[in-house]
Structure formats: structure tokens, C-alpha cells
């Protein structure tokens, strides 16, 4: 019985080890393209003088404001993954928004959500419309 028990566990271990590989494969005829790949945008930020997340103030009020804006944006499930991942930089009540969004409506929505957060006195909307599919 012990031998049968070990054989069963060995079979299950082999089966489990192969499972992630099966799900990671792309179906025939399809290309794997990530929906929210901001690699080019992030590389451009390295050479750009515009604010990035590294410019986020470490003041408690600024950190809390950025977190509140992020929460408002992520809470809106109608927005795309790109919109949920925009850069949010807060300093003295001014919130800078940077990154790609799906369309003009989404750009407007993210900006409106930001303006509705208590403590936001100004929004520097630098969002870029990136048409996807």
C-alpha cells in the first residue's frame, strides 16, 4: 500500500509541475502581447525632465494625497489596466498624471476622478491617448 501511495503522490507532483507550462503557452496563430506594457514610456521618462514617481514628495500630506488619487482611479473598474497604472505624483496639492490611457474619454475620466479627491487643488494632466485594439 505504501508503494501505491508513493506512486500516486509522484504522479500528482509530476502533473502539478507541468500544469503552469500548459497555461503559459500561447494558442496557435495568436501572438502574446501584454495589454499594459509601458516599457517605452518608462524608458522615455529616464531622459525627460517631467515629473516621475521618483519625484514624489515624501511629505505625509503629499503621500496621502497620491494614495487617495490612486485609490480613486483603481476603484473605477470601467478604466483599462493602462489607466489604473498611470503615474500619480502629488506635491502641495498639485497632482501630475502621466502615462498612457486607452482613449480621450478615459483621459477625461481619470482627470475628473483626480479632481474629485479632497485636497487636490490642481491637476497637471500629461496623460497620453494610446489607441489599443
Q: Specify the CATH number for the domain of residue 83.
A: 3.30.1340.30
User: How many domains is the chain partitioned into structurally?
Assistant: 1
> What pLDDT band is residue 29 in, cutting at 50, 70 and 90?
low
- Does any domain span residue 72? yes
Question: What's the chain's average pLDDT?
Answer: 80
| pTM of the entire predicted model | 0.63
**Quick one: which of 109, 58, 44, 51 has its CA closest to 80?**
109
105 is a domain residue = yes
Tell me if 82 sits within 8 A of 99, measured CB to CB: yes
Q: Kind of pairing, strands 122-129 and 94-101?
A: parallel
Judged by phi (left if over 0) then psi (alpha if -120 to 50, else beta), residue 109 lies in alpha
In a domain, 7, yes or no: no
Domain that holds residue 78: 37-129
Amino acid at each position: 500500500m505504501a508503494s501505491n501511495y508513493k506512486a500516486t503522490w509522484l504522479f500528482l507532483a509530476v502533473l502539478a509541475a507541468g500544469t503552469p507550462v500548459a497555461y503559459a503557452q500561447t494558442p496557435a496563430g495568436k501572438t502574446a502581447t501584454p495589454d499594459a506594457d509601458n516599457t517605452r514610456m518608462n524608458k522615455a521618462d529616464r531622459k525627460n525632465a517631467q515629473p516621475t514617481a521618483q519625484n514624489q514628495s515624501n511629505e505625509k500630506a503629499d503621500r496621502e494625497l497620491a494614495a487617495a488619487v490612486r485609490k480613486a482611479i483603481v476603484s473605477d473598474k470601467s478604466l483599462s489596466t493602462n489607466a489604473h497604472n498611470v503615474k500619480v505624483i502629488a506635491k502641495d496639492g498639485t497632482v501630475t498624471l502621466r502615462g498612457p490611457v486607452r482613449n480621450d474619454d478615459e483621459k477625461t475620466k481619470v482627470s475628473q476622478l483626480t479632481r474629485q479627491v479632497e485636497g487636490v487643488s490642481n491637476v497637471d494632466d500629461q496623460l497620453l491617448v494610446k489607441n489599443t485594439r
